[in-house]
Amino acid sequence: MSRTPHTPPRCLRWRSRRSTWAPRRETLNPSRYEVSLLDEERAKAFVTEHHYSGSYPAARLRCGLWRWRPGTLGELVGVAVFSVPCQQRVVPRWLGVEPLEGVEVGRFVLLDDVPFNGETYFLARAFRLLREHKPTVRAVVSYSDPVARRTLGGEVIKPGHYGTIYQAHNARFLGRSSSKTLYLTPDGRALSGRALSKIRLGERGQDAAQARLVELGLPERDRGESGEGYVARVLGSRAVRPVRHPGNFVYGWALDRRVKLKQAGGYPKEAAS
């Protein structure tokens, strides 16, 4: 375990929901890149096209990484989304502030041709925009998932991630979230626990959640079937694989000096391979 922020040994990239590692031979030239606020439509389209989950969180601020080449218009090559956490207790639990005073790094996606150190450049400037445009936000939380996602055939669609870019941006390591059981589809994507809860309890948004399950290749809900019964049938089908997850690593940043975040120990470090 190391307490010193460092240059990430590997940098994750995405394209069309497939991950790659950025080669270290090239570094980003700041004169060719720019970070600015991004509208909801373009941010959502980019994230759902390229991130492995194909999903988009409830955003409070969206930032885009643009690349400029001679004789061309700017090209969107990355999106950062500061979002509302899935559960209201997340912000008070980890950041010690009121729910609306905290946000989550809900998505951070860079294309596979962004140079090696693109994360640090992008993340720093996205935080500046957050401070400028959301002055009531006092702290930020983010998760890194160390467990890889694999298809039923064994193909890795999302490698494990230890949060090295957060460490490089001087995040506090706050601990680890609770262990849980994930339910994976044949293509390796995890079903949203919040979406399943909406269906089970008949809450607002259940229709969209059901449509998403069908889109993922899972059975449709029968006429007259209860939400609870439908979810139980989906999770019990052969198309879904239960996988025990030990919990994500949790990181935080205080944007207000009065917010005190407690380091939970040394930074998690990926084992050398």
Instruction: Tell me the domains of the chain and their CATH numbers.
Output: 12-180+246-254 (3.40.630.30), 193-235 (no CATH)
Distance CA 84, CA 86 (A): 6
Closest by CA position to 164, among listed 3, 20, 1, 6: 6
pLDDT for 188: 82
Pick left, alpha or beta for residue 57 (phi over 0 → left; psi -120 to 50 → alpha; otherwise beta).
Answer: beta
On whether the CB atoms of residues 111 and 118 are closer than 8 A, the answer is no
Q: How far is CA 17 from CA 68, 158, 247, in A?
A: 24, 9, 23
Distance CA 4, CA 167 (A): 8
Q: What pLDDT tens digit does each residue of the chain (273 aa) get? A: 444 444 455 677 767 777 776 666 678 899 999 999 999 999 999 999 998 888 899 999 999 999 997 767 789 999 999 999 988 999 999 999 999 999 999 999 999 888 878 899 999 999 999 999 999 999 999 999 998 888 878 888 787 888 888 999 999 999 999 999 989 888 888 888 888 999 999 998 899 899 988 888 888 999 999 999 999 999 998 889 998 999 999 999 999 999 999 999 899 987 543
pLDDT for 192: 83
Instruction: Please name the residues in contact with 111: beta carbons below 8 A apart, sequence gap of 6 or more.
Output: 13, 14, 15, 50, 77, 78
On whether the CB atoms of residues 128 and 239 are closer than 8 A, the answer is no
On whether the CB atoms of residues 74 and 123 are closer than 8 A, the answer is no
pLDDT for 162: 86
- Please report how many Cα atoms fall inside a 13 Å half-sphere around the Cα of residue 185, on the Cβ side: 17
Amino acid at site 162: Y
Q: How far is CA 56 from CA 137, 192, 193, 197, in A?
A: 21, 12, 15, 18
Closest by CA position to 109, among listed 41, 30, 28, 55: 55
pLDDT for 3: 42
Question: By CB neighbour count within 10 A (0-12 exposed, 13-18 middle, 19+ buried), where does 248 fall?
Answer: buried
Query: How distant is the alpha carbon of residue 144 from its chain centre?
Result: 8
Alpha helices in the chain (DSSP H): 40-50, 90-95, 118-133, 164-168, 193-201, 206-215, 227-235
pLDDT for 7: 47
Maximum Cα–Cα distance for the chain, whole Å? Answer: 60
